A and B are shown apart, each in its own frame.
Chain A
Amino acid sequence: MSTRTKVKGTNRARSEFIWGWMFILPTMIGLFVLNIIPIFQTIYQSFFKAGAFGKGNVFVGLDNYRRMFADASVWQALINTFKYAVVEVPFSIAIALVLAVLLNRHMRGRSLYRTIYFLPMVAAPAAVAMVWRWLYNSEFGLLNHLLNTLGFDSVNWISNPNTTFIWIAVVGIWSVIGYNMVLFLAGLQEIPQDYYEAAMIDGASAVKQFFHITIPLISPMMFFVSVTRIIAAMQVFDVIYMMMDRNNPAFFKTQSLVYLFYRYSFVESDRGYGSAIVMLLLLVIMVITVIQIRMQKKWVNYN
C-alpha cells in the first residue's frame, strides 16, 4: 500500500491522495469492522473463561490453550479437516480444469453446459446439503436404493467413521466445481491462440498441448484457485453441520475444527475455548498459505 509515499505539496497530489483513500474507504471500513477488529477480539477472548452474553469474562491466561493441547477431539478435528481438504481440493481443481478445457472449445450448447456446471454454486449450501443428506440416507436414500436394485449391499455413506469424510468431500467438490471452472475459463481465454497453432504445426498432440501450453500458462490461475480453495476447505462447516448430528457414530471422526468452534462458542457458550480453537485454525491456515506462496516460484509461470 502506498501510505508511506510522501505526499508532495502540490494540490493535485494531495487531492489524489485524499480521493484515493475516499474511494477505498467503504471497503476499508467493512474490512476493519467485519474482519480485522473481530480477529483481535477473538485473540483477546481466547485468554478468558467467558461468561454469557459477552459479560463476566475471567482472565485465565493460557488455560484455554493448555486445555486445547490436551484435548483429543481437537486434534482429531484437525486431522478430519486435513482429510477433507486433501480429498476436496485436488479433485475439485482437476475436474474443474478438465471441464474448463472441454468447454473452452467451440461446441454446440456450450453456454448451456457452462450454466449447468455453475448451478450448484448458485444453490444455497444448506439446501444442497439437505438434498445430499437424503440421497445418502442408508435406509431410505436413493443411492442405496439404486445399489440394492443392482444387487449390491447398502452402504452407510454418512455414518461409517472411516469413509464418511470422503462422501462429505464429494458434496464439497460437486458444489465448487462450477466456480473453479469459471475461473479457469477466464484463465484459458487469456492464452493466445498462436501458441496452439504453432504447436500444431510442430505436430504436438492435444495431450502434449495441454501439459506444455495450457498448464504452464494457466498456472497463475491455478495458484490462486488452490490458495483460496485450501483456505475454504480448511473452514468447512455447513455441509457437516447440515448432514450429520451428534448421534452419528462417524461424527467424532468427521467433525471439523470450525464445527468444534461453533459447538463451544455458540452451543455450549464457552467462548474462550472456542476462540482458542479458531486461533489454532488461523495458525494452520497461515502456515499452509505461507508454504504455498514460497512454493509458487517452483511451478507458477508469470509471463
Chain B
Amino acid sequence: MDRRVAFPPLGLISLAAESYLRALGVETVTPPPTSRRTLDLGVQGSPEMVCIPCKLLFGNYVEAAERGATDIVMLGGPGTCRLGYSVAQQARRLREWGFAVRTHTLDLYHVPRDLLRLTRTFADGRPAYELVEPVRFLLGLLNLTDELETTALVARARERERGAVDRAYAAALERVAALRDRQELKEQRDEILGLVRAVELDPDRPALRVGLVGDAYTILTPFLNHNLEVRLGRMGVEVYRWFHYTGRINLPLLRRGRGGRARRAGSRYLKRDVGGFARATIGEAALMAQGEVDGLIHMAPFNCTPETVAQSALVALQRERGVPVLNLSFDEQTGPAGVVTRLEAFVDMLWAARRRGG
C-alpha cells in the first residue's frame, strides 16, 4: 500500500518518530513547524472555546495533509482529556475540508500499546522479528534526544558566548535526523552528544535552577510559549523539565524509579487521576520542591481542564513547602512581552530569595 505517514510536530518526538518510520521502510511527510498559519487553520477548524493545543494540532494535521500525507497520527485517546474526544471531531473535519486521509490515534495513556499497534499497521504484514531492530532504534533515539535536550537546557545558563549552545544543539539535531539505523546511532551517539557538551561554559557563573511543570504540549511548542526555555536559559537559569520523551514509553517500568517516587510525593496533593498530565506534573513538582530547584514554572494552555486542577494542587504545594510557583497560561492572545516581563520578575525574585538564604 502506498503510504506517506505524518506525525504532528511536537518537540523531538516527531524527529524520533519519523526516523523510526523510515527505519520501518515507511515513507514520511514532515509537516512545517507550528506557525501563525497553523494557528489560523486551527482556529478556523475548531470549536471556539476549545484549548489551544487542540486548535494547533488540527492546524498541524491540515498542513500535513497539504504536504501530501495519506496517513496522519493524531494525539488523543479516551481518558486523556478533551483530546480524547476531539480526535474524532478533527478526523471528521479533515474529511469535510476535502482531505482524503486515514487517521490513526496515538493514545497518550497507552503509548507502548499503541506504538505496537501503529507499527503493525504501518509495517504491512512484515514479520515481528523484523520489527525488533526498528523499535530498539526508536528507544535509542528517544533516549539520545532526551539527553541532548536535558544537556542544552542546563548548559544555556552558563555559556560563555551567547547562542553557542543553540548553534551546537541545532547541529546535533541535524546529525540525529540523518541517523538511519541503530548501528549508526551506536557509532555516532557520543560524538553527537559531544557537540553540545563541548560548548565552552563558565563554571563559576552562579545559576538559578527552575523546574518546568504543566502541560507537555505547551512546554514542547516554542511557538506557543514564546521560546520560554531559551529565554530562561539566557537569563542564567538552568531549566529542568518534568517531561521526558522516554518517560511515556517507560512509564510502566518506572514505578520503582523516579516515576514511582513522583507518584507517591504527589498523591498528597492530587490523589485521583484527572486526565492529561496533571497527576504526573504534580508528582514531579513535589519531588522538585524537595530542594532540587529554586522555583517552579507551571505552564498550561488557557483553560486546560486537567491543568486547572493541577494549578489548585500547586497552591497546596506552595503553601506547605514554600516553593515559589509562577503560573503561566498561554492562548492565541498571549504576547511575548507579557511572558518576558513575568519571567524577569520571577527570576529577580528567585535571586533575592537565594541571597536571603532561602
Instruction: Answer yes or no: are A and B bound together in one complex.
Output: no
Interface set of A (CB-CB < 8 Å, partner B): none
